[in-house]
Structure 1
Amino acid sequence: MSHILISVFVLTVMEIVLGIDNIIFIGLLSNNLEDKKKANIARKIGLVIALGVRVVALLFVSHLAHMTTPLFSITTDEGLRHAVSIRDIILFAGGLFLIHKSAAEIHEMFSDDDGKEQETAGTMAKVIMQIVLVDLVFSADSILTAIGLVEEVWIMIAAVVLSMGIMFMLAGKISDFIDTRPSLKVLALAFLIMIGTMLVAEGTGVHIDKTYVYFAMAFAGIVEVLNSKINIRKSPKRKKRKVRPVVTEELVAV
């Protein structure tokens, strides 16, 4: 029993750690909707659909092993050969999507257009679809890692459900936190561009340790927090004016 609990705990923590970038991007995507209610609904629907897709994928766990089976190979100018699998294609395409979407978000932040006010009703469906697609990209590696750690499918499903439940609760808070801080939003988007670049590199056979990316972003985040605190300290504060009592001499006629 203890072995099962440890396995579920380790897998859940791993899914959450690997899903940090996923949570950030889901928050940014949902913020494209002006209506907070719609944004919240889009997040929930997107995550529920994504959870369903992950569970179905785990039920067909035997077929997922073929994701790393080479489909064809590419030879570079240096004579190096890289075997391309379904996983590589998913990571490459997903990385390009992340780079494009994050760069477009940064461009929109500096744009003077008020296009957001003219959004159509179909935008919500678009955001939900993007949340599901992004979750599939980010889940490819985490699912394959889960398969390598445990053999019992129900343990994998339990860990995925728990981690998605935590993401379900955190996505809204992270979304609101980032949306009210433009500098932090730019930092998060830059982080996602780095993740997208890393995914593209992974898809072409170049392995980049995710630890370096997370360390760089953690360092940048700490610097950003320090900067914001310094700016708050230096911001002009309303100084309370000391009102000196005016002493008037009154001649009292006795």
Structure 2
Amino acid sequence: MTDQSTTATTTRSSDTLDHAPPSTSDTDTHLRQVLRDQQTSAMQKYMSLTVGSDSLARLFQYELLTTTLGPMPGAIGLFLRQKLYRTMFGHIGQGVVIGKNVTIRHPHRIHLGDRVIIDDHCVLDAKGDQDPAIVIGDDAIIGRNTILSCKGGEIRLGHQVNISVNCTLVAETQLTMGDKVLVAGHGYFVAGGNHGFARIDIPVGDQPCTQKGGLHIDKHCWIGAAVTILDGVTIGRDAIVAAGAVVNRSVPDYDIVGGVPAKHIRNRKHDDSNNP
């Protein structure tokens, strides 16, 4: 997997993502449209949102594999999922390990590289029109209870990305991480999907969403525990985000940032001291 989508140059003085006017999207999401459609049956809605196909053969395959193999514990469960899940995924490389009780939606839009590890109770939700919608590079690790959710967008993770437990990645546009990004637990990353709130005569949830260009984390970054990174942000290569930070502006290469909102602490490459 290349880093072309995650190598945008960032500076503190000029940041096109921060200053570009946000675009807006229709507040009536695909999920709402499907659920409100009175012309389709409950089964058709289920197939559209979960399987991503109106094929009864795909529905039968999905139900059989996820119902029988999904909750199966131990080595036998790992082995059977490794061998049989590949028939419903878009692509599964060699040596992939998928834990028990992993929720999978639109599996044909999910591409997993070699030796990927998906821990127990994760969610891989590839709903939308992108194909593929979720791409995970070789030797990546997705920690327990972590959610990767596409809402019409795409999530692309590079080789050897390591995402710890209880993280949430949501993409209505594009969310990318370069190679060897390290993410500690309980992080929240959102690409798109922030509601506008200019009007006070209608609820915030009914107002159009704003989109600021997606979220891009370049290679070799270290993201601390309980970090929130918002739409429109690019994190430069080899940057470090301190635990608990809320990042609402782009971060230059090699920078260390922290706080709410996140602010520059020092630069690993240009500052004299080598210690945080």
> When the two structures are superposed, what TM-score results if normalisation uses the length of structure 2?
0.23
Greater helix content: 1
Normalised by the length of structure 1, the TM-score is 0.25
Larger radius of gyration: 1
